[in-house]
């Protein structure tokens, strides 16, 4: 399959690296408003430089858009309208209106639109999923040091949205209530946020996201009536503890680390995207899921503003 990457900055260059090496895929072109960067990455992976995203229409089967969020609509829309499959990095768009327009354009053309919620493809998350029957309480921590990128959006849309997407894929119930606080510290936007979600099922989810921490933490822990499932996204580690009730004696807790076959989530995400294009099916994280996570992120930031 012929592929291209638009936006080959911090993340886009990894998309380019993986597509250039993937069996059954060819990285035909890269495109970036920073022409030096475009030429550097193109030379590294034996691709051409496309000056204009429109020139990719008809020349490739699938495009990755890894430009800053503010430009996702303007970059991806002409491709979708021309019937080209697109994977757009998270968050899908700047606003729900833009997200709706992208989803509608993809559906109107019957073309694949995937969203880069990479944690869904984390092998530890995939291994945890079948163990989750009835989450009652979920705790998420996603903390990082101050970045030089993605400062055009609140930390909720940059970091917390990864956990929101995973939580929404774990808890099959509407959100009933939101308590949220967000604090701008080093930027005029929210740099650290804490949120408590209550789902109609009764499940409570606590999320903390920060881009002003000293250490890097990426964890999700799920408490169920008879088990505790903990995922370290960054280490790709999974721990499972179960409550065992025998016929006699007190209940016991048993468990520990579960072996996970480590793999690069971004590569799995791209493999799924290209397979979806090839097979004419929806990708694992379709546009609607990206829209769903964005909508919850928006509700959370609205709740933060109304609490001030
Ligand atoms: P970045 O600033 O490092 O890279 C963006 C690149 O896009 C730059 O090279 C820039 O020159 C180029 N660019 C900007 N506007 C363009 C346009 N209109 N056309 C072509 N090129 C353009 O940013 P980044 O950290 O790589 O983030 C890019 C996207 O990826 C964002 O949406 C971000 O949220 C997302 N992201 C996702 C993950 C993940 O885990 N899935 C991780 C990091 C970033």
Q: What is the pLDDT of residue 245?
A: 86
More confident residue, 249 or 308: 249
Distance 84 CA to ligand 1 centre (A): 20
Which of 20, 87, 25, 31 shows the shortest CA–CA distance to 56?
31
Which of 81, 111, 141 is the last residue before a domain boundary? 111
Distance 17 CA to ligand 1 centre (A): 15
Structure tokens at 100: 């709706």
> How far apart are the C-alpha atoms of 215 and 194, rounded to whole Å?
17
Distance 308 CA to ligand 1 centre (A): 31
| Segment 34-91, tens digit of pLDDT | 999 999 999 999 999 999 999 999 999 999 999 999 999 999 999 999 999 999 999 9
Pocket of ligand 1 (CB under 6 A): 6-12, 31-34, 37, 66-69, 71, 75, 89-90, 116, 118, 149-150, 158
| Segment 119-154, tens digit of pLDDT | 999 999 999 999 999 999 999 999 999 988 778 889
| Segment 204-242, tens digit of pLDDT | 999 999 999 999 999 999 999 999 999 999 999 999 999
Which one of 11, 53, 115 would you pick to mutate in the ligand 1 pocket, going by the greatest count of ligand atoms within 8 A of its CB? 11
Q: Supply the residue whose CA is at minimum distance from atom 34 of ligand 1.
A: 90
DSSP letter (8 states) at residue 276: H
Residue 274, domain member (yes or no): no
| Torsion angle defined by CA atoms of residues 93, 218, 216 and 299, in that order, rounded to the nearest 10 degrees | 40
Distance 154 CA to ligand 1 centre (A): 15
Residue numbers of the domain that contains 231:
120-263+295-307
How far is Cα of residue 283 from the mean position of the Cα atoms in its chain?
13
> How far apart are the C-alpha atoms of 259 and 47, rounded to whole Å?
38
CATH code where residue 25 lies? 3.40.50.720
**pTM of the complete model beyond 0.75:** yes
On whether both 135 and 226 belong to a single domain, the answer is: yes
Residue 270, domain member (yes or no): no
Beta strands in 73-203 (DSSP E): 85-89, 113-116, 137-143, 175-183, 192-199
CATH code where residue 211 lies? 3.30.360.10
Distance 90 CA to ligand 1 centre (A): 10
């Amino acid at each position: 399959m012929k592929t291209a990457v638009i936006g080959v900055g911090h993340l886009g260059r990894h998309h380019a690296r993986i597509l250039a090496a993937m069996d059954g895929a060819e990285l035909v072109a890269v495109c970036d408003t920073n022409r030096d960067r475009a030429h550097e990455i193109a030379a590294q992976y034996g691709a051409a430089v496309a000056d204009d995203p429109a020139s990719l229409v008809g020349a490739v089967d699938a495009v990755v858009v890894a430009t800053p969020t503010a430009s996702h609509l303007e970059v991806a829309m002409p491709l979708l309208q021309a019937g080209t499959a697109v994977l757009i990095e998270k968050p899908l768009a700047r606003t729900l209106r833009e997200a709706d327009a992208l989803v509608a354009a993809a559906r109107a053309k019957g073309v694949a639109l995937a969203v880069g919620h990479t944690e869904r493809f984390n092998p530890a998350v995939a291994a945890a999923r079948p163990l989750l029957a009835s989450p009652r309480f979920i705790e998420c921590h996603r903390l990082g040091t101050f970045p030089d990128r993605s400062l055009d959006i609140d930390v909720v849309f940059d970091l917390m949205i990864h956990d929101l997407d995973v939580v929404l894929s774990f808890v099959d119930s509407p959100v009933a209530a939101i308590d949220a606080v967000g604090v701008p510290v080093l930027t005029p936007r929210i740099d650290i946020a804490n949120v408590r979600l209550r789902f109609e099922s009764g499940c409570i989810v606590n999320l903390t996201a920060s881009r002003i921490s000293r250490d890097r933490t990426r964890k999700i822990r799920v408490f169920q009536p008879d088990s505790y499932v903990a995922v370290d996204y960054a280490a790709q580690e999974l721990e499972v503890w179960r409550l065992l009730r025998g016929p006699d004696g007190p209940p016991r807790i048993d468990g520990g680390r579960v072996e996970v076959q480590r793999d690069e989530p971004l590569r799995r995400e791209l493999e799924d995207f290209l397979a979806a294009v090839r097979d004419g099916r929806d990708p694992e994280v379709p546009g609607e899921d990206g829209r769903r996570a964005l909508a919850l992120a928006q509700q959370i930031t609205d709740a933060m503003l109304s609490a001030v």
